Amino acid sequence: MDKRGREVLLLLVWGDLLINYVETMVVPAIPTIQSDFSVSSTLASWITSAFIIVGAVVSPIFGKLADMYGRKRMYLISLGGYLVAVALAGFSPSIYALIAARAIQGIGYGIFPVGLAIITDVLPPQDVATAQGLLSGSVGIGTALGLIVGSYIDQNFGWQYAFHTAFILSLLFFLLILTKLKDTGVRVKESIDYVGTTLLTVGMVLILVYITEGPSLGWLNAENLVLLTLGVLLVLVFIPVELRVREPLVDMNLMRIRNVMVANLVGVVSSIALMIMYFGIIYYAQLPPPFGLGLDIFSAGLTLAPATVVMFVVGPIVGKLTGDAGPKPLLVFGSLTSILGFILLMVNRGTSQALVEDVIVAGTGMISIIIPLINMIAVSLPETARGIGLGVNTLLRNLGASIGPVLATSIMSSYKDPYVLIVDNQFLISFYPGSEAFNVMFEVAVLVILVNLGISLLTRNYKLKGKGRNIVL
């Protein structure tokens, strides 16, 4: 890897760290924000949902625009929108203003597919997988820092300062990208597919809103079902439209390439399991004994921190192995390791140390699945379609990430045990998710990963041997 490649990689790692750090900082502050604005937990949940939904739908759009108008330009536009929204969020006078600012922050999610495309442009094939591993691993570090620092800032200074400090960091990073990053890639001269963009954007927003509102409104609620039905219809219409358009947003012929299709399917499925793991651990760590470990928010976040550090270390190793051995062995290894981790979470979670050990195993498996997906997309698609290909994969992984928490919370709601307290000679009865709830949750995760393993076996393996050579086995 030459000097320019190292500089670009360091810049993009900082960007991924920054976004994940800022977005995780918000999570510990949600109960405080809910209390400050005197709103329901359902409305407060949109503080995170608004960002995720917008981030999911802008990923393929920014990926496509980066292919058309240049990687650096779209990276700066994505980052600039994020920067403005972070500034507004810290001064939000109401919950609705905050949710709107968080939705605009979702534009910042565009830096992920665009950044991955830049890495593929700048580095030789034998270094791409390792660099992608480092970028993916940096997500874990950003998450760990966000959980720890976010809890501290919220507790000592208030949630507004989480956004104020994030604005300063984002501004510094924007100036660095503006001055240091050079444009890359070969621009494709195409017109914008307005019809396809509208169909995909509105359809996916409706589906994600249905998933988000399902636990509160009800899965069979008439209004919610209308959202789902319209969303699915729009996505179904999107497919034949794209097949007929001369210059489509998404070239469906490229999406049918075997490894691209496998990467997209595995992206959805593995993200479901990953979010089941995160939600299960956070809830279990904080529930009072005997239902959980009874940890505070800060300590619960620390149980995930070692695993995210391990993911940062393991990421580049997995990336290197992906180039040397091909993605298929890593996907199989990752699936089997994740299954082992979820089994350990069923039988070995009695202490915080045991929980940390289990999450390290499961996290190693999950990062071994995620990194080959990105490489499969980058290797399988031509340079002029990498941005949109990585954007679609990001969209689908976000779709899975939206389903995971819903499954986890639904299972916890279905398996509750009574908890009796005696206060002033009165019996107070509360209901918490019992041991069976978490066992079922991790059993579901095992089944999901088994599906993931079956899809992974369809991968057409390849090895990267030297610059410019792609050998398919």
Q: Are the C-beta atoms of 167 and 191 separated by less than 8 Å? A: no
How many C-beta atoms surround the C-beta of residue 420 within 10 A?
A: 8
Residue-wise pLDDT for 136-172, tens only, equals 667 667 777 777 777 778 778 888 988 999 899 999 9
Q: Which helix (H) or strand (E) holds 342?
A: helix 327-347
Lowest mean pLDDT among 211-220, 408-417, 423-432: 423-432
Length of the chain: 473
Is the predicted pLDDT of residue 473 greater than 50, yes or no? no
- Residue written as token pair 């079956």: 454
Mean pLDDT value of segment 82-97 = 93
Quote the percentage of the chain above a pLDDT of 70.
91
Q: Are the C-beta atoms of 72 and 185 separated by less than 8 Å? A: no
- Residue written as token pair 């928490």: 405
How many C-beta atoms surround the C-beta of residue 104 within 10 A?
A: 18
Query: 369, 435, 349, 446: which is closest to 407 by C-alpha?
Result: 446
Q: What angle do CA 284, 285, 287 make, to 5 degrees?
A: 65
pTM: 0.80
Residue-wise pLDDT for 324-347, tens only, equals 899 999 999 999 999 999 999 999
Please say whether the structural domain 3-190+247-472 has been given the CATH code 1.20.1250.20.
Answer: yes
Is the predicted pLDDT of residue 258 greater than 90, yes or no? yes
Q: Could you write out the DSSP letters of every residue in 236-303?
A: HHHHHHHHH-SS-SS-HHHHTSHHHHHHHHHHHHHHHHHHHHHHHHHHHHHSPTTTS----HHHHHHH
Is the predicted pLDDT of residue 99 greater than 80, yes or no? yes
Distance CA 168, CA 408 (A): 35
Max mean pLDDT range (133-137, 152-156, 350-354): 350-354
Distance CA 468, CA 473 (A): 16
pLDDT at position 419 is: 66
Is the predicted pLDDT of residue 362 greater than 80, yes or no? yes
Residue-wise pLDDT for 401-419, tens only, equals 878 877 887 788 778 777 6
First CA to last CA across the chain, in angstroms?
26
H helix runs in 70-158, sequence order: 71-89, 95-105, 111-122, 125-156
